[in-house]
Amino acid sequence: MINMLRKLGVEPVCIEQPPDLSIPENKMMLAIYLAAPEVENDRRALNTFHGMRRAKKEGRYMGHAPAGYINRVRENGDKYIAFNEPEASIMKWSFEQLSKGIFNTEQIFYQAKEKGLKVSRNNFWRLIRNPVYCGKIVVPQYKDEETRLVRGLHEPLISEVIFYMVQDVLDGRGRNFRPKAVTAEPFPLRGFLICPDCCKLLTASISKGRNKYYSYYHCSAGCKFRINADTVNKIFADHLKEYIPIPEIKPLYAAVIAERYREETKGMLDSEDKASAQIKDYETRLVRARDLLSTGQIDPSDYREMKSDYSEMIHKLQSKLTTIHIDKDNVEEMLQDSIENLMKLSECYDSGAWAESRDLIGSIFPENFTIEKKGFRTARTNDVLRIIYVINKHIEPKKSGTKKKFSSLSRQVAKTGVEPVTSGL
């Protein structure tokens, strides 16, 4: 560049230590003057990189806080991230909805935008992949060190269970997404109904009549099947009432589920102890491998392979431990609230907004269903509600208003537990 400037008649001038470029030997001094600040910049950059990497290993989040968090500074100068409302509640709601698999990611994004989330669509995709929301910090790969997750110093917004459920859904390993459906008030069942003639998915639209508008569910595959949306919605609301538990068996139902829950938690405690023992065993193996490396009994490449395998197993077991968390204090209250919601099943569908109604439909019917003018044909129903339906059918009302077959009722429910299986019937 200096030679180019001199050819153009421009003489470079150095403010400090000006070299006389007419003397060839002075070019060596010029090279030193130019290289010294470059070396200093590289050293500063490397020190900054190692400092940030060390901070990440300690569990500190580096950089601008993601949506739902905000950067804060303590009195002693330590920097940290804290919840930023209302974005934190919106992001937590988004993760919970994605984990259910009722709506796809784009639909959740637009609903979150309506709630007040101010991020772009691409940024939203990056956020739901970020483990910082479950309390983890990513330490990227560098030289011989593999990429790993460490526990962050900040408070997690969601549990690890919900985070990994969302990742499974996004990767296609979880529950299948419902088809994308922009649903308005008259069409809460859009995306759930299958054509009885050609087995294609039904869409919905509104037609203009002479005096008013009419809403229909109809086939988009070329056949002529269509059915009035108001009729379908009414049939479905009546159909939901069949899954409401009979009020007289409410105490028995709660007692059976509570007993089954206590039985299940015993196995969970054993699994928790087993997983903790396995984690301790792999950590001991890592220590032994490190000792073998220090004494030269194994090669560095073997140690790196062993460390990668053991670290992966430890991470999987730690994730498993989070799924075995048991909250004994709130189970009775949660059970009573859940049964109360079951008793008001049809009311929740009638009074809820379209998003909540679709969430309710998806939880009852894991698969799409077919509707006809006289009723429904479903491939599969939620196992708990299916058992309630069977019990309601077996218990016929008497003229006095009491129910019969209470002696056989407890055996039917207790045999299959909280999540009954098909063979239990």
Write out pLDDT tens, residues 19-31: 777 788 878 888 8
pLDDT of residue 229: 80
Is 88 inside a domain boundary?
yes
- 47 pLDDT band, cuts 50/70/90, is very high
pLDDT of 384 above 60: yes
- Are 299 and 324 in the same domain? yes
For 77-108, the pLDDT digits (tens) are 888 899 998 999 999 999 998 888 777 888 88
Same domain, 43 and 89: no
CA distances from 166 to 106, 117, 253, 355 (A): 14, 19, 32, 19
**Mean pLDDT of the region 305-330:** 69
383 in any annotated domain: no
**Type of residue numbered 231:** T
> Residue 87: which CATH number?
3.90.1750.20
Residue 387 counted as domain residue: no
Is 177 inside any structural domain?
no
For residue 336, being part of any structural domain is answered with no
Q: Tell me the pLDDT band of 46, cut-offs 50, 70 and 90.
A: very high
In the prediction, which pLDDT does 74 show?
Answer: 86
Question: 266 and 293 in one domain?
Answer: yes
Amino acid 386: pLDDT: 66
Q: Identify whether residues 115 and 157 lie together within a single domain.
A: yes
Whether 26 and 89 map to the same domain: the answer is: no
Domain identity same for 75 and 159: yes
Domain-ending residue, one of 129, 148, 170: 170
Query: How many CB atoms are closer than 10 A to CB 67?
Result: 21
Cα–Cα distance between 359 and 103 in angstroms, integer? 8
- The pLDDT assigned to 126 comes to 92
Residues 123 and 145 grouped into a single domain: yes
**Which pLDDT score is estimated for 407?**
42
For residue 90, count other CB atoms closer than 10 A to its CB.
20
What is the rounded CA–CA span in Å between residue 108 and residue 134?
19
DSSP for residue 329: S
Same domain, 85 and 160: yes
- 229 domain residue, yes or no: no
Instruction: Assess whether the previous peptide bond of 397 is cis (omega < 30° from 0).
Output: no
Domain limits for position 316: 260-331
Q: Are residues 45 and 105 in the same domain?
A: no
- Counting the structural domains of the chain, the total is 3
pLDDT digits (tens, 9 = 90+) for 163-192: 888 888 887 765 544 444 444 455 777 777
Which of 331, 349, 383 corresponds to the end of one domain?
A: 331
Domain contains 220 = no
Alpha-carbon gap, residue 59 to 80, rounded angstroms: 10
pLDDT tens, position by position, 109-147: 988 999 999 999 899 999 999 999 998 898 888 887 888
Q: Is the pLDDT of residue 321 over 60?
A: yes
Q: What percent of the chain has pLDDT over 90?
A: 14
- Mean pLDDT to the nearest integer, 388-392: 66
Query: 424 pLDDT exceeds 50?
Result: no
Q: Are strands 193-194 and 375-378 parallel, antiparallel or unpaired?
A: unpaired
Within-domain flag for 417: no
Strand residue runs (E) in 209-274: 213-219, 226-228
The answer to whether residues 73 and 166 belong to one domain is yes
- Give the residues across from 50 on adjacent strands: none
Average pLDDT in the chain: 76
- Is the domain of 40 the same as that of 130? no
Assess whether 86 and 13 both reside in one domain: no
The domain boundary, picked from 120, 151, 170, lies at 170
The candidate with the shortest Cα–Cα distance to 187, out of 199, 176, 202, is: 202
Give the tens place of pLDDT for each residue, 220-274: 767 778 888 888 877 777 777 777 777 777 777 777 777 777 776 666 666 777 8
> pTM for the whole thing?
0.48
Are the beta carbons of 87 and 67 closer than 8 angstroms?
A: yes
pLDDT for res 366: 64
